[in-house]
Amino acid sequence: MDLSLLERFASTFWMILCDSAPALLIGFFLAGLLAFYIPTELVLRHLRARKLSSIFKASAAGVPLPLCSCSVIPVAMSLRKAGASRGATTSFMISTPEIGVDSALLTNTFFGPFFTVYRIVAAFCTAALVGWIVERFGGEEPVAEAPKSCHSCCSDSPAPSKPVAQSGRAVKVKSAFRYAFISLVDDLAALLFIGFFISAAVLTFLPDDFFSAFLGTELFASEWSAMLIALFISFPAYVCATASTPLVAALFAKGFPIGAGVVFLLAGPASNIATILALKQMLGARSMWLYVVGVGTLSLVFGAGIVLLLQHFPSVLSIRAFAGGHVHVSPVSHVAGLVLSALLGMSLLRRFGQRRPATKRAVASGLA
């Protein structure tokens, strides 16, 4: 392989990491504060009622939390055991992995405020509507049992049984930082590295018209066919909302359809095999199928919706420009990139170099 091509790949990888670093570091910090300063008793009190209001509240509560689709399973089970309604549990399982404070900040970095707001609104509306459908048409409710731990993606550290919220302020602040920059980083490190790697590979090795060249073929005969293919790819696989954001930005730079990108960002984080099986165990087979069909359908609707909006207001979308695979990176972003690299490196060493120590899973511990 040409040495200059490898150098360009390394430069592009570093560019994407530095672009992402400020938003991720701020997102991790805010996530730690949210995880340890939200009164869980207040959350549970508002999610127990079998009303439409509890579904909306669960959708809103899940939006800022930085949990991936495997991390959210034990938290949702804790909510369910504490008395949360079926619809509220479903809504929480959708809105929480689809968007979080970290992925929202990263979305703003790569796509601008319009796309960020659209992604947040889409996640909230999908969660609320599917939650209502499951509550209304889900049939009989099974007895909930603790799901098996998920080893395919996020942290496998056990959660302590006592809520951290009972600790003193100094302990709480220390625990918040530990959750933000150790536990949460451990959950996302491997996925972020893979996301950055694939994004850099797409920008470096694919021609600029790679995807647009297929739009006139039979495979990509229309925007809808592209969205259906994106849905088919994203649904069974594990897709992290944060790590997939720079990947979709790189795909957009190579002509990937905007609507298909939205489908990928919405359906992927809210659905994988572990989530679907856990949902069946908690809420029953009918609720599981309503969840799958609802998330898939609404992802397509919002994918088509942004295409329609951009036809009338094309200037509202500001995708991060990758001119020739290179953009200017500020000194602040370089420093943030170094800090993020250190955090990711230490996390990967903990994960793969030795047996990782048990770390507190903040939200799960607070709701257990």
User: What would the two tokens of residue 16 be?
Assistant: 């994407």
Q: Phi and psi dihedrals of 50, rounded to 5?
A: -85, 65
Average pLDDT score over residue span 194-212: 80
Q: Phi and psi dihedrals of 147, rounded to 5?
A: -75, 155
Specify the pTM: 0.75
Lowest mean per-residue pLDDT among 8-22, 149-163, 200-214, 278-292: 149-163
When mean pLDDT is compared over 66-70, 113-117, 170-174, the highest value belongs to: 113-117
Q: What is the DSSP string of 119-153?
A: HHHHHHHHHHHHHHHHHHH--SPPPP-PPPPP-SS
* CA-closest candidate to residue 292, choices 268, 276, 303, 304: 276
Centre a 10 Å sphere on the Cβ of residue 73 and count the other Cβ atoms it contains: 27
pLDDT for res 346:
92
| pLDDT above 70 (res 251) | yes
Q: CB within 8 A of 194, min separation 6: which ones?
A: 243
pLDDT for res 144:
46
Q: Phi and psi dihedrals of 338, rounded to 5?
A: -65, -45
User: What would the two tokens of residue 269 be?
Assistant: 């984080």
Whole-number Å distance between alpha carbons of 105 and 103 = 5
**Model pLDDT for residues 160-177, shown as the tens digit of each residue:** 333 344 456 777 778 888
Confidence at 49, pLDDT banded by 50, 70, 90:
low
| pLDDT above 90 (res 295) | yes
Looking at per-residue confidence, does 252 or 363 come out higher? 252
Residues 3, 92 contacting (CB under 8 angstroms)? no
Whole-number Å distance between alpha carbons of 131 and 125 = 10
Please name the amino acid found at residue 289: W
pLDDT for res 365:
46
pLDDT for res 154:
53
pLDDT for res 298:
95
Average pLDDT score over residue span 92-112: 88
Looking at per-residue confidence, does 14 or 325 come out higher? 14
Q: Where are the domains of the chain?
A: 3-367
When mean pLDDT is compared over 98-102, 113-117, 150-154, 325-329, the highest value belongs to: 113-117
Whole-number Å distance between alpha carbons of 311 and 165 = 48
Looking up tokens 């080893």, which residue turns up? 151
Mean pLDDT taken over the chain: 77
Looking up tokens 């207001």, which residue turns up? 313
pLDDT for res 303:
93
